[in-house]
Amino acid sequence: MSLGGGPGFDHVSFCIATKFLHDIQPQRSDLLPNRIKTQVYDLYNDDWEPVMESLGECFDDQEHLTMHHVDLRLDLADEAHEQLRSSLQTVDIIIAQFVLHENASFIAQDVEIDGVPQKQIVGVMRDILTMAPAGTIMIITDSANTLFPYLKDAANKNGWSYLCAEEQLREEGKRRAYLGPKSFLILEREVYK
């Protein structure tokens, strides 16, 4: 599942990564590559549809690419998100690349808790973190990491573990992982709360 994946670039990435992982296996002749099914959710789905159709022609029948509507400013319960609600029940990987920061004012809002306003993740992102099945991986890259403290807090409350720039460092100051730019967040849903 690709959130805000417009022209389908996440599908291309999934297909390339799958082919690479298949090709480096010593016994690859015995293995069939996994079929890639990418559902792209974007606010401008109608505008991206012709691009997606052209991109789909570049792949064989083993890869499947579809476009759907999402509005990250709304809750998952909104009638426009019927397909997203259905897809969320069986999702394996969720990618959100360079889409959350531009919607930050809608995604993280002040919510009053015990009379004190606190920023929290709301809307579709809150609902995804609440409803995604155990084992789901979410990869977020963005132009800034200002939402990450709120995303990590919401993820932690809903049974997700996470890794981002701060978590890469060990106590000795050595990295335990060398992953991407400073504005990335990798989440894994460990338990369904």
For residue 65, the surrounding DSSP H or E stretch is strand 64-69
Convert the pLDDT of each residue in 47-85 to its tens digit. 998 998 888 788 766 568 889 999 999 999 999 999 999
Task: Count Cα atoms within 13 angstroms, Cβ side, for 31.
Answer: 14
Using alpha carbons, select from 154, 159, 180, 158 the residue that is nearest to residue 167: 180
pTM reported for the whole predicted model: 0.85
CA distance linking residue 39 with residue 82, whole number of Å: 13
User: What's the CA gap between 75 and 188, in Å, rounded?
Assistant: 22
CA distance 134 to 157: 14
The predicted-structure confidence for 162-186, as pLDDT tens digits, reads as follows 877 565 555 565 655 555 556 788 8
CA atoms within 13 Å, Cβ hemisphere of 115 = 0
